[in-house]
Amino acid sequence: MVTARLEILSITRRFGGRPVVDDLSLEVMPGQVTCLLGPSGCGKSTALRIIAGVDRADEGEIRIDGTPVAGPGLFVPPERRGTGLMFQDFALFPHLSVADNIAFGLSGTRTEKRLRVRELLDKVGLVRFLGAFPHELSGGEQQRVALARALAPRPKIMLMDEPFSGLDNRLRDGIRDETLSILKDEGAAVLLVTHEPEEAMRMADEIALMRRGRIVQRGAPYNVYNAPVDREAAAFFSDVNVIRGRVEGALTDTPFGQFLAPGQADGTEVDIVIRPQHVKIDFDRGGQGPAPSPEHGVWARGIVERARFIGKDSLVEFRMEFDGSQMRANVPSVFLPKPGTPLWIAIRRDRCFVFPVTDRSPARRRAG
Ligand SMILES: Nc1ncnc2c1ncn2[C@@H]1O[C@H](COP(=O)(O)OP(=O)(O)O)[C@@H](O)[C@H]1O
Ligand SMILES: [Mg+2]
């Protein structure tokens, strides 16, 4: 069995009595990228700071390669934890050259340091900037130097807090991919904090979805996206349509036909949650609409309110005839029906999620 490189065991951190990190546990395996993903303010940075050793937990323990580095009566300082840090504002030292910035935390002989600096600059493709100063570099280049600097002492664990959020969109994808391949190459275990689902999906081997100080779901990006634990988890990754219904005999009747609600007691209110790209659209056929099918269930009629081309697909907004609620569909390529056009909508049975309604589920929006 492979030992986890990093183990976080039930850490809690309170500010003014309020738990900001609340009984959080997580492991990161060697050579893996784990993304701590969650909305702003959910406690991601606080958790990362505790792991780095720049803050202390009120409860819980942290182990690196099986050895405790923080816990009751124990605190190993940051510089002795073997972690590399990269934060959002990765300030380089302005008065040091690129090479000296990277060499800053290195020990060893001058030759050893020079070789390591050279190797890293080669990896990030910036050998020509060896003697340059930070202000002579673009934002993306500075980011790569910061990465090289963090990796220079060969940290066993890289802790990264929204390291790409300062970069403009055009640069970001390229730098993310490049960073990922360098991190994999160096073999570090990576814990990357982000509030952007796309970034987590792109970077992570495993996503840990965080909410209000706790981890609510963990898994490969594919699983977290396709099997969310609740409505809020589904809605964190994309816009969602929600149809509310009531369970009767493990089934829920809706304007789109019946949905299975296995294990839900009679009378339970449920939300049927569906991403806009899994909504099907068909033509009006003189007001008849398409025939029901096992895959799509019953079709319901809606009137187009707005249609926009948003890149590789189109987003169409409907006002549904059955109750005046709004629904959204993503349609591949260019599909721009005029407002007022009647169309029929169906929900893919294999792609919808059925969740019991909780106090936190907002009621669906009604037509004004
Ligand atoms: N030193 C602190 N003192 C008091 N409250 C703090 C402190 N640090 C963070 N918080 C609060 O803890 C919550 C979580 O913050 P943070 O960990 O930065 O969230 P995230 O990184 O997920 O956006 C926020 O409400 C923040 O205001
Ligand atoms: Mg943060």
64 lines ligand 1 (CB under 6 A): no
Please give the average per-residue pLDDT across 118-141, as a whole number.
Answer: 92
**Which atom of ligand 1 is found nearest the CA of 161?**
21
Which listed ligand is nearest to 43 at the C-alpha? Answer: 1
Please give the average per-residue pLDDT across 267-294, as a whole number.
Answer: 94
Q: Indicate the average pLDDT of the chain.
A: 93
Please give the average per-residue pLDDT across 235-252, as a whole number.
Answer: 95
Report pLDDT digits (tens) over 69-111.
Answer: 999 999 999 989 999 999 877 789 999 999 999 999 899 999 9
Residues 6+ apart with CB under 8 A from 60: 8, 9, 10, 11, 12, 23, 24, 71
Q: Sorting pLDDT into bands at 50, 70 and 90, what band is 361?
A: low
**Which atom of ligand 1 is found nearest the CA of 16?**
4
- Residue 46 Cα to ligand 1 middle (Å): 6
pLDDT value at position 139? 85
Instruction: Answer yes or no: is pLDDT of 11 > 50.
Output: yes
Q: Sorting pLDDT into bands at 50, 70 and 90, what band is 169?
A: confident
- Residue 346 Cα to ligand 1 middle (Å): 42
Tell me which of 11, 12, 14, 20 to substitute to probe ligand 1's pocket, judged by most ligand atoms within 8 Å of the beta carbon. 20
- Residue 117 Cα to ligand 2 middle (Å): 30
Instruction: Answer yes or no: is pLDDT of 171 > 70.
Output: yes
DSSP string covering 119-171, please? HHHHHTT-GGGTT--GGGS-HHHHHHHHHHHHHTT--SEEEEESTTTTS-HHH
Q: Locate tokens 């050579």: which residue?
A: 31
pLDDT value at position 368? 37
CA-CA distance, 76 to 78, in Å (whole number)? Answer: 7
Please give the average per-residue pLDDT across 118-134, as a whole number.
Answer: 93
CA-CA distance, 160 to 48, in Å (whole number)? Answer: 8
Q: Sorting pLDDT into bands at 50, 70 and 90, what band is 298?
A: very high
| Pairing verdict, β 189-194 and 33-37 | parallel
Tell me which of 12, 14, 15, 35 to substitute to probe ligand 1's pocket, judged by most ligand atoms within 8 Å of the beta carbon. 15
**Which atom of ligand 1 is found nearest the CA of 47?**
17
Please give the average per-residue pLDDT across 130-143, as a whole number.
Answer: 92
Distances 5 to 32, 64, 263 between C-alpha atoms, Å: 9, 5, 38
40 lines ligand 1 (CB under 6 A): yes
Please give the average per-residue pLDDT across 159-186, as a whole number.
Answer: 86
Instruction: Answer yes or no: is pLDDT of 366 > 70.
Output: no
Encoded amino acid at 237, one letter:
F
DSSP string covering 37-82, please? E--TTSSHHHHHHHHHTSS--SEEEEEETTEEEEETTEE--GGGTT
Instruction: Answer yes or no: is pLDDT of 309 > 50.
Output: yes
pLDDT higher at 89 or 144 = 144
Distances 11 to 3, 66, 308 between C-alpha atoms, Å: 19, 16, 45
50 lines ligand 1 (CB under 6 A): no
Report pLDDT digits (tens) over 41-77.
Answer: 999 999 999 999 999 999 999 999 999 999 999 999 9
Instruction: Please choose, from the candidates 14, 84, 94, the residue with its C-alpha nearest in 3D space to the C-alpha of residue 48.
Output: 84
Instruction: Answer yes or no: is pLDDT of 254 > 50.
Output: yes
Encoded amino acid at 157, one letter:
I
64: exposed, middle or buried (Cβ count in 10 Å: 0-12, 13-18, 19+): buried
88 lines ligand 1 (CB under 6 A): no
For residue 132, the Cα-to-chain-centroid distance in whole angstroms is 35
15 lines ligand 1 (CB under 6 A): yes
Domain boundaries, the chain: 6-232, 239-356
Please give the average per-residue pLDDT across 194-202, as a whole number.
Answer: 95
Residues 6+ apart with CB under 8 A from 110: none
CATH no. of 239-356? 2.40.50.140
Please give the average per-residue pLDDT across 164-185, as a whole number.
Answer: 84
Strand partners, 317: 306, 328
pLDDT value at position 363? 64
Q: Would you identify the CATH topology of the domain 6-232?
A: Rossmann fold (3.40.50)
Instruction: Answer yes or no: is pLDDT of 271 > 90.
Output: yes
Q: Sorting pLDDT into bands at 50, 70 and 90, what band is 275?
A: very high
Which listed ligand is nearest to 42 at the C-alpha? Answer: 1
